[in-house]
A and B are shown apart, each in its own frame.
Chain A
């Protein structure tokens, strides 16, 4: 459906990748770790390699969680926008098919959060 309006209704996507000064938004969800109240909204360069993303972006983001230091993210189970995904350490975001406002979900077997409460 479209907006029912008093005149022709034209709208711009406010969050196009062009508006992010060469960067792109990447969302990351780490199930069973609800200490982080929602998926992260992170900024990455499309030319960043996956291993740099893990070291420079994701690990600092989860550092305050006791599971953060133990997680072997590269060999964890990944999904990209709901589909199975196998990351390659040396591939860039662009080469990995991770586009603007993509969502990565990473499950770390054996690490299910604290106190059996999934947080």
Chain B
């Protein structure tokens, strides 16, 4: 055999390794090979129109990723050897990691599964390859996030059983159900949900605050993970935009279908990100920017430009965008108040913001914080000082779609819950908003199956009838270590010890920590 050119040029390589993977079948019907490509009603007339902005081939992909991995793990090792956890801004910061590890890292894994599945469904080779690479990226992110944060597990509570908690703990049904909804949809809806609405439109609201938050708070391990994931995220975002433009350009019948998916997944993503809003405004001891500022930059400005650009395809901005824009001044406070009162059932701690943090919140939220939210914290701080730390001893009503407690308020009235209800086949259903009710009403059969943690406890499916049994035995939350107030917690005492400070006098808490 004579080899003419030992090395292929980039163009040929791309052709051989990507597009030539999509041959015309001869002894099987195409429909049998790709059976799920058209049931959603999306019409693709010409897959060859798919553009790959990165033109990345598998061999190059492995090489780049391996190099990044080597650097990343060198830094993780150095972080562990140098006791990097001692250099963070404050022990409270670790609670943001607990939320991330139980709420976000399992989603990376779910994304890996989702892209593996949908990548199989497309008859276009370019889309298949892009999904394959993203599947591997997501698996890598899930793994490297866990490795980045595993060092903290040696020194702090609440990080010991993240994937178990993701499947069971009440508030983690919020991220879990988001991805389960996407993964149980068809391949084009999955891409619209995850690649476009989440990765392209909303991901900056998760990763920028989180990675900058890590940098501002001295968490080198997580910052380094962020850098290592950055080029992957850029590729995912580009795929997200390409997907949507490709589908819209293929056939005009696709436009209303895509519009409905954008409406749905914008709303679901916005609800999910309210957890990030809380993290930014309350859980980072050194603040990066407020949730409201982040929403203005990354959604109102960037998203505004994007939807202007998509106008030529007949796409309008997502329904209820006005509600989301208005809510930017409220949701982080409402969510933190919720976790504050249900800390007995979380794997992380909560606390009342310190005085300078309250001042910062007043400055960032001049129209809402002092009027609606500061009084709550002042009251609760007083109660706590008098030995009555406030916990809500009932269970909350949950939204049938997003599974968040019905805690959000009306756009024009922050004193009234935006509760909505409907009946379907004689059964009553309740929602946090019009946005979630609309999603239900379009596909009620899907959401009547929702695994609502509160109802599951009441049905006796969570290991016991009292909350303590559910929290300890079913959730694997160690009572008195992982949960309750931060002040006086074992984590707090350990942090004071690390910093050589005298532990606070805490009569009410028993310290069973052996460290």
Contact = CB atoms under 8 A, between A and B. Distances in A.
B65 interface: no
Q: Which of A6, A9, A40, A117 has the most CB of B within 10 A?
A: A117
B362 interface: no
Contacts of B409: 34
Nearest to B443: A3
Interface stretch (A19-27, A48-56, A89-97): A19-27
A119 B372 CA distance: 8
Interface in A44-97: 60-61, 64, 81-82
A55 to B, nearest CB: 15
Given A20-B459, A41-B397, A115-B379, A103 B430 contact: yes
Interface stretch (B13-21, B419-427, B501-509): B419-427
B417 A39 contact: yes
B451 interface: yes
A46 B504 CA distance: 49
Contacts of A37: 334, 337-338, 341-342, 392, 396, 405, 407
A2 B421 contact: no
B338 A38 contact: yes
A29 B417 contact: yes
A45 to B, nearest CB: 13
B430 A14 contact: no
Contacts of B406: 38-39
Nearest to B340: A37
B454 interface: yes
A90 B416 CA distance: 31
A41 B376 contact: no
Given A15-B427, A119-B375, A39 B445 contact: no
A118 B393 CA distance: 20
Task: Give chain B's interface residue range (CB within 8 Å of chain A).
Answer: 35 or more
Nearest to A1: B442
A31 B428 contact: no
Contact of A27 (B379, B407, B430): B430
A119 to B, nearest CB: 5
A106 interface: no
Determine the main DSSP class of B at the interface with A. mixed
Contact of B421 (A15, A35, A81): A81
A102 B428 contact: yes
Contact of A40 (B337, B338, B397, B458): B397
B455 A103 contact: no
Contact of B35 (A3, A6, A9): A6
B376 A43 contact: no
Interface residues of A, number: 48
The dominant DSSP class at the A interface is: loop
A56 B430 CA distance: 25
A61 B417 contact: no
Given A37-B405, A119-B376, A14 B393 contact: no
Contact of B371 (A39, A99, A117): A117
Given A1-B443, A3-B443, A14 B415 contact: no
B5 interface: no
A60 B388 CA distance: 16
Contacts of A27: 397, 430
A87 B474 CA distance: 38
Nearest to A116: B375
Contact of A14 (B35, B186, B407, B451): B451
Contacts of B444: 2
A103 B405 CA distance: 14
Contact of A100 (B35, B428, B449): B428
B365 interface: no
Nearest to A40: B394
Nearest to A101: B428
B278 to A, nearest CB: 12
A98 B455 CA distance: 18
A14 B417 contact: no
B396 A9 contact: no
Given A27-B430, A34-B415, A41 B39 contact: no
B397 A39 contact: yes
Nearest to B398: A41
A25 B39 contact: no
Given A10-B445, A15-B459, A103-B430, 9 more contacts: A1-B441, A1-B443, A2-B445, A25-B458, A36-B394, A37-B405, A38-B338, A41-B397, A41-B458
Sorted nearest first, the 4 A-B pairs with minimum C-beta distance are A38-B405, A115-B375, A11-B445, A101-B428
Interface of A: 1-6, 9-16, 19-21, 23, 25, 27, 29, 31-32, 34-43, 60-61, 64, 81-82, 99-103, 114-115, 117-119
8 contacts: A2-B443, A21-B459, A34-B376, A37-B342, A37-B392, A40-B394, A41-B395, A101-B429
